[in-house]
């Protein structure tokens, strides 16, 4: 999965490390401020191309932790107040990911 993260004055692209109903871990090329509120758009990707017909998931999230890695930064985001439709979309994505592994 790929993602875009935006906040006050920035827009970053990233890949996901893991996803759950509660949040997502992203790999970024730069850090973001802990405890800040961001917008995240998650994209299903197949063969490095956004999956045709897939619905993106856009959610608000809070940055809970950041960690520097050899290749950049990992960021742990906790989703904020998901609507039932967003939870259903996450569940669908998790089922698709589970089928691939």
Tell me the C-alpha to C-alpha distance, in Å, between residue 25 and each of 20, 53, 66. Answer: 9, 24, 9
How many structural domains compose the chain? 1
Residue 30: which domain range? Answer: 2-100
Domain harbouring 26, CATH code: 2.40.10.220
pLDDT at 99 over 90: no
pLDDT tens-place string over residues 25-42: 999 999 899 999 999 999
How many other CB atoms sit within 10 Å of the CB of residue 93? 18
pLDDT of residue 101: 61
Contacting residues for 11 by C-beta, under 8 A, at least 6 apart: 4, 5
């Amino acid at each position: 999965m790929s993602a875009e993260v935006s906040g006050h004055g920035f827009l970053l692209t990233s890949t996901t490390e893991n996803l759950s109903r509660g949040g997502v871990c992203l790999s970024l090329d730069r850090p973001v401020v802990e405890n800040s509120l961001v917008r995240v758009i998650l994209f299903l990707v197949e063969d490095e191309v956004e999956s045709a017909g897939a619905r993106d998931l856009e959610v608000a999230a809070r940055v809970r932790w950041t960690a520097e890695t050899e290749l950049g930064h990992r960021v742990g985001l906790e989703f904020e107040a998901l609507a039932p439709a967003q939870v259903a979309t996450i569940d669908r994505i998790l089922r698709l990911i589970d089928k691939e592994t």
